[in-house]
């Protein structure tokens, strides 16, 4: 990769950020397409966020990915939001268009494109989403208009209800909610087509945990876990063992990153190559 005075800069900001796979994913795509871009990671503490966004504008940084804990607070420093980011109330991608900073949320589209790697037809399908945090909000807003039925389950029921009602007002859909308990899961998963775990249950170092008992999984259920450390969570392993289709969190990471890539460059990203780069990097880190 040759860096010059014309090279455009993209980056990811967050705290912590050292673990991020985004630099390897995006730089592999830039090299493959011969684009004069480079992608780096910046640790930005909460009290430095405003200065960091001012720096983006002053330095002409083309694009930023935004990860925890800045996805909501960063909105205060932007000029515009796209409709999806406005609905979700969070931003994970920023485009610098000649000094105008525009916020996007690509998690929902990334999730949709991830699901389409295993099934194209979502019309009339029942989707159950576990969790009501930031990832769940983005995914639920996007998928509500794609599926026939959406149910949001969360341990704190009031958060699930608040999210469902917000989606209903914005989309005129009829999203249901409930408590994330074994009893509710048993009832809702009986006729569900897709299950998405948008909680942190099963994430390293608690990789022996699962949000769903294996007895509730079926071969005709598609199971999607946003956790990518470990790459195969207990939930995905038990789903695969009963013959279910599975989607891992790395697929989601790459697909939401691919949407960001197109926002910044206007070019269709090489998703397969980005996925390969991400998997190779994870393998190196585990050796």
27-67 tens-digit pLDDT: 999 999 999 999 999 999 999 999 999 999 999 999 999 99
Name the CA dihedral angle for 231, 237, 240, 246, rounded to a multiple of 10 degrees: -30
Please give the pLDDT value at position 128. 98
Which residues have C-beta within 8 Å of that of residue 215, sequence separation ≥ 6? none
CA–CA separation, 229 and 236 (whole Å): 12
Please give the pLDDT value at position 38. 98
Active site residues: 71
The position carrying tokens 């775990």 is: 197
Pairing of strands 100-104, 93-97: antiparallel
CA neighbor of 153 nearest in space, from 171, 132, 137: 132
> Which pTM was predicted?
0.92
pLDDT above 90: residue 273: yes
pLDDT tens for 100-119 read 999 999 999 999 999 999 98
Average pLDDT on 235-259 reads 97
Q: For residues 5 and 40, which has the higher predicted lDDT (pLDDT)?
A: 40
Q: In what order do the strands lie in the sheet containing 222-225?
A: 176-179, 149-154, 126-130, 194-197, 222-225, 245-247
SS3 80: strand
What the block records as the tokens of 267 is: 């070019």
**Peptide bond just before 16 cis, omega within 30 deg:** yes
Residue 201 confidence class, pLDDT cut points 50, 70, 90: very high
pLDDT above 90: residue 15: yes
pLDDT above 90: residue 197: yes
pLDDT above 80: residue 1: no
Please give the pLDDT value at position 120. 83
What share of the chain in percent tops pLDDT 90? Answer: 87
Pairing of strands 176-179, 194-197: unpaired
Average pLDDT on 151-168 reads 96
CA–CA separation, 51 and 61 (whole Å): 13
Which residues have C-beta within 8 Å of that of residue 219, sequence separation ≥ 6? 242, 243, 244
List strand residue ranges (DSSP E) for 37-109, in order: 37-43, 63-66, 80-81, 93-97, 100-104
Residue 264 confidence class, pLDDT cut points 50, 70, 90: very high
CA–CA separation, 156 and 211 (whole Å): 14
47 CB neighbour count, 10 Å cutoff: 7
Report all structural domains of the chain as residue ranges with CATH numbers, in order of start: 8-105+252-286 (3.40.50.10860), 109-247 (3.40.50.720)
114 CB neighbour count, 10 Å cutoff: 23
Please give the pLDDT value at position 173. 85
What the block records as the tokens of 270 is: 């090489």
Residue 135 confidence class, pLDDT cut points 50, 70, 90: confident
Please give the pLDDT value at position 275. 97
How big is the CA angle at 148 (ends 146 and 152), to the nearest 5 degrees? 85
CA–CA separation, 257 and 109 (whole Å): 10
CA–CA separation, 254 and 206 (whole Å): 23
CA neighbor of 258 nearest in space, from 275, 237, 279, 239: 275
Average pLDDT on 144-160 reads 96
What the block records as the tokens of 273 is: 């190559």
């Amino acid at each position: 990769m040759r860096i010059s005075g014309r090279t455009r800069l993209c980056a990811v900001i967050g705290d912590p950020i050292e673990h991020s796979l985004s630099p390897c994913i995006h730089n592999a795509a830039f090299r493959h397409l011969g684009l004069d871009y480079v992608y780096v990671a910046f640790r930005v503490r909460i009290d430095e966020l405003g200065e960091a966004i001012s720096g983006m504008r002053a330095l002409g940084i083309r694009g930023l990915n935004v990860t925890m804990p800045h996805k909501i607070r960063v909105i205060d420093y932007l000029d515009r939001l796209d409709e999806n980011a406005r609905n979700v109330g969070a931003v994970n991608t920023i485009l610098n268009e000649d000094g105008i900073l525009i916020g996007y949320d690509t998690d929902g589209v990334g999730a949709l494109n991830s699901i389409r790697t295993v099934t194209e037809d979502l019309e009339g399908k029942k989707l159950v989403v576990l969790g009501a945090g930031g990832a769940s909000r983005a995914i639920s807003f996007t998928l509500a208009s794609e599926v026939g039925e959406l149910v949001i389950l969360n341990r704190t029921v009031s958060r699930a209800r608040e999210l469902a009602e917000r989606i209903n007002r914005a989309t005129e859909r009829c999203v249901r909610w409930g408590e994330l308990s074994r009893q509710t899961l048993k009832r809702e998963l009986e006729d569900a087509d897709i299950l998405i775990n948008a909680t942190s249950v099963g994430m390293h170092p608690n990789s022996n945990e699962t949000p769903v008992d294996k007895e509730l999984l079926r071969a005709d259920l598609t199971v999607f876990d946003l956790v990518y450390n470990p790459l195969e969570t207990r939930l995905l392993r038990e789903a695969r063992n009963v013959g279910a289709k599975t989607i891992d969190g790395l697929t989601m990471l790459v697909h939401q990153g691919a949407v960001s890539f197109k926002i910044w460059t206007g070019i269709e990203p090489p998703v397969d190559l980005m996925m390969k780069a991400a998997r190779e990097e994870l393998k190196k880190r585990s050796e």
